Amino acid sequence: MGDWITQSSQLIASVEEPHGAESHGGDHGDGHAWVSWEGLLVYVAIVVGTLFVLMAQAKKGLNNRFFTNKLTQLFEQVYLFIENMCVGTIGAHGRRYVPMIMTMWMLVFSGNLLALFFPTSPTADLSFNLGLALVSVAYVQYEGIRANGLFGHLGHFAGPKLGGFLALLISPIIFVIEIVSELMKNVSLSLRLFGNIDGGHRAAEAMNTLGAGIYVPFGAFLLPIKLLTVVVQAMIFCLLTAVYLSLVTHHDDDHGHGHEAEAGHAEVAPAH
Amino acid sequence: MTGHIFGLGIGLAALGVGIGLGMIGNGAMQGMSRQPEAIGKIQVAMLIALAFVELVFLLTVFIVPGSLKI
Amino acid sequence: MSNAKQSSGPPAIVGIIVGAVLMFGGFWFSKNVKLEFIKTLEAQGIPLDPGKTISIIGVLLILFPVIKFFFIAPLAEAIQNRTTELERTFGEAENLRAEMTQMKQDYERRLVQTEADAREQIQGQIKEAQSLRQQMMAEAGVKAEELKASAAREIEAQKQQAIAELRHYVVELALQATEKLVEANVDEERNRKLVADFLETVEAPR
């Protein structure tokens, strides 16, 4: 178990060829291998280290008047963009979620950028994306429970408040569907990011194979469209997180509805 | 043989998703040209819709091979 | 769920500790636990390693509070401070502008006042001059009337004198003519009286 540090020194190579148990057993792999735990560690370390170096540089330029440091201006633009997104999607209380969503944006964006120049990257790994999505959805649930209370939040899943017999019949079905849809949020968030970034790699590889006979790397011409994907996917990931947050917290304004949902749940509960 | 079917299926999925993406872009552009002041909101909604349509294709790509036992 | 109503999240140190535990737990999981359905998924072309996912969750739990306190909170504070500073500066500028507008209004009002004063004075002068002219014209008219009256009086006197002289000459002529005519030496005193009586009768119808 102690030799994973020595293993990690040959990670880039380990990506190129199948690596022990981590290599997948599919037929259509043709050399496309998945990075091991240590490899992912290195890529995450690259991303996080770069982020911290940039942030430390940008932190020097902070003052209360006017940011002259280019890096600080860049981070300020990112902050304002995320803040705009949060406030526009969630509402006035969305400013609270800016740090979390901005961290997410920076991680996803720098991971996607890394994918442009490296054979793989954190966001081209489904496990990383699934972790990110799980944290995102779990945070949404946590915020929902904090905003509406546990029963109020569960009452959200039961759909609209129905009266009498209908409630016993329909609300459990809606409840199950909503739970499944919550689980699917994880899958959709992670699979979307993974599919886009890894799909870019696959497309570049395929086009490189196409041009291998005449020594032209056609895959390199995909760079502009991949750059677009990088920006759009980072934005969509954060935007969807913000949308999910707004869905569970938008009853903050009128507490009356939250209590209604809670009452509705109280009727539904015996049906289970 | 299954490989050919797989390729055809992926192509069909791409066809449908392409039509869907095009329709979303069409609607968004018409909306934007009618109401240039609402471009920001329309763009956000359009991106969300694009993401969901795109997901259909990704699901096809990742689920179909397993169900076909390639 | 005891902190459901609490406004702040769980303390950051808990997140960091849990994150660290999850990180190494994920490493252990990745190396030692092989799940059956993961192999099925891999056969489908979906590469999933739950160990990596657990580790990433741990990393993220560490990263969120660290990045928040390391960078985003100072950045947000600086932006907030800058915004308030800008607002303050704008407020000051606004105040100065309001003051300037006030001063300009004062100045304009004073200008208008001065103009009105000047116009009033000019009007007064003109009126005074006109009244003076009227007065002078009236005086001149009076003087002219006086002169005319005195001239008329003089003419009247001259006329009376001329009439008296004329009468005298007429009497003389009549007397001489009568003397020549009668050629008699009559008493001059009686004659004169006679002529005077006659003249009285002549003058009466005039």
Exposure of C185 by Cβ count < 10 A (0-12 exposed, 13-18 middle, 19+ buried)?
Answer: exposed
Nearest CA in chain A to B47: A236
Reference C51, options A37, A25, A40; nearest CA is A37
Least confident of A110-114, B20-24, C64-68, C177-181: C177-181
What pLDDT, on the 0 to 100 scale, is given for residue A24?
Answer: 38
Where are any strands of DSSP class E within chain A? none
Q: In degrees to the nearest 10, what's the CA dihedral of A148, A151, A152, A155?
A: 150
C17-29 exposure pattern, b = at least 16 Cβ within 10 A, e = fewer: ebbeebbebbbeb
**Average pLDDT of span A19-33:** 41
Residue A55 is nearest to which of C50, C71, C85, comparing CB atoms? C71
Least confident of A69-73, A78-82, A253-257, C29-33: A253-257
Rounded to whole angstroms, how far apart are CA atoms C42 and C48?
7
Q: What are phi and psi of A7, to 5 degrees?
A: -65, -40
pTM across the whole model: 0.68
What pLDDT, on the 0 to 100 scale, is given for residue C147?
Answer: 94
Longest dimension (CA), chain A: 73
3-state secondary structure of A51: helix
**Average pLDDT of span A101-130:** 88
**pLDDT higher than 90, residue C110:** yes
What pLDDT, on the 0 to 100 scale, is given for residue A9?
Answer: 40
Rounded to whole angstroms, how far apart are CA atoms A62 and A83?
18
* Record: contact B62-C43, CB cut-off 8 A: no
**pLDDT higher than 60, residue C43:** yes
What pLDDT, on the 0 to 100 scale, is given for residue B19?
Answer: 95
Q: Is-contact A266 A162, C-beta < 8 A? A: no
- Chain B nearest-CA distance from C35, in A, is 18
pLDDT tens, residue by residue, C167-203:
888 888 888 877 777 766 667 787 788 888 888 887 6
**Average pLDDT of span A7-17:** 41
3-state secondary structure of C39: helix
What pLDDT, on the 0 to 100 scale, is given for residue A33?
Answer: 59
**pLDDT higher than 60, residue A192:** yes
Contacts of A25 in chain C (CB under 8 A): 39, 42-43
What pLDDT, on the 0 to 100 scale, is given for residue A37?
Answer: 81
Least confident of A31-45, A114-128, C105-119: A31-45
Residue extents of the structural domains in chain A: 67-154+185-250
What pLDDT, on the 0 to 100 scale, is given for residue C94?
Answer: 94
* Record: contact A103-C67, CB cut-off 8 A: yes
- Chain B nearest-CA distance from A85, in A, is 9
Exposure of B69 by Cβ count < 10 A (0-12 exposed, 13-18 middle, 19+ buried)?
Answer: exposed
**pLDDT higher than 90, residue A144:** no
Mean pLDDT comparison of A223-232, C37-46, C132-141, C194-203, highest-scoring range: C132-141
What pLDDT, on the 0 to 100 scale, is given for residue A69?
Answer: 81
Task: Mention every residue, 6+ apart, whose C-beta is less than 8 A from residue A252.
Answer: A91, A93, A147
How sure is the predictor about C145, in pLDDT bands with cuts at 50, 70 and 90?
very high
| DSSP type of residue C204 | T
| DSSP type of residue A65 | S
What pLDDT, on the 0 to 100 scale, is given for residue A102?
Answer: 92
Reference A81, options A116, A64, A106, A61; nearest CA is A106
Nearest CA in chain C to A30: C45
Contacts of C43 in chain B (CB under 8 A): 66
Q: What are phi and psi of A125, to 5 degrees?
A: -115, 125
* Record: contact A128-C56, CB cut-off 8 A: yes
How sure is the predictor about A165, in pLDDT bands with cuts at 50, 70 and 90?
confident
For an interface test with A, the pick among C75, C79, C88 (most A C-beta atoms closer than 10 Å) comes out as C75
How sure is the predictor about C104, in pLDDT bands with cuts at 50, 70 and 90?
very high
Rounded to whole angstroms, how far apart are CA atoms A141 and A245?
8
What pLDDT, on the 0 to 100 scale, is given for residue C140?
Answer: 94
What pLDDT, on the 0 to 100 scale, is given for residue A170?
Answer: 79
The residue with greater pLDDT, B1 or B24, is B24
- Chain A nearest-CA distance from B56, in A, is 9
* Record: contact B47-A235, CB cut-off 8 A: yes
**pLDDT higher than 90, residue B60:** no
pLDDT tens, residue by residue, A205-238:
888 888 888 888 888 888 888 898 899 899 999 9
Q: What are phi and psi of B15, to 5 degrees?
A: -60, -50
Task: Mention every residue, 6+ apart, whose C-beta is less than 8 A from residue B2.
Answer: B68, B69, B70
Q: Is-contact A234 A108, C-beta < 8 A? A: yes
Contacts of C79 in chain A (CB under 8 A): 76, 79-80
* Record: contact A75-C76, CB cut-off 8 A: no
Rounded to whole angstroms, how far apart are CA atoms A72 and C59?
25
Contacts of C85 in chain A (CB under 8 A): 64-65
* Record: contact B51-A195, CB cut-off 8 A: no
For an interface test with A, the pick among B41, B52, B53, B55 (most A C-beta atoms closer than 10 Å) comes out as B55
* Record: contact A236-B59, CB cut-off 8 A: no
3-state secondary structure of C34: coil
Contacts of B44 in chain A (CB under 8 A): 85, 88-89, 239
* Record: contact C67-A131, CB cut-off 8 A: no
What pLDDT, on the 0 to 100 scale, is given for residue B69?
Answer: 57
Reference A78, options A94, A56, A101; nearest CA is A101
pLDDT tens, residue by residue, C112-127:
999 999 999 999 999 9
Kindly report the average pLDDT of chain A as a whole number.
77
Return the sign of the alpha-carbon dihedral for residues C183, C185, C189, C194. negative
Report how many helices (DSSP H) and strands (DSSP E) chain B contains, helices first.
Answer: 2, 0
- Residue B9 in tokens: 């299926």
Task: Mention every residue, 6+ apart, whose C-beta is less than 8 A from residue A245.
Answer: A89, A90, A94, A97, A139, A140, A143
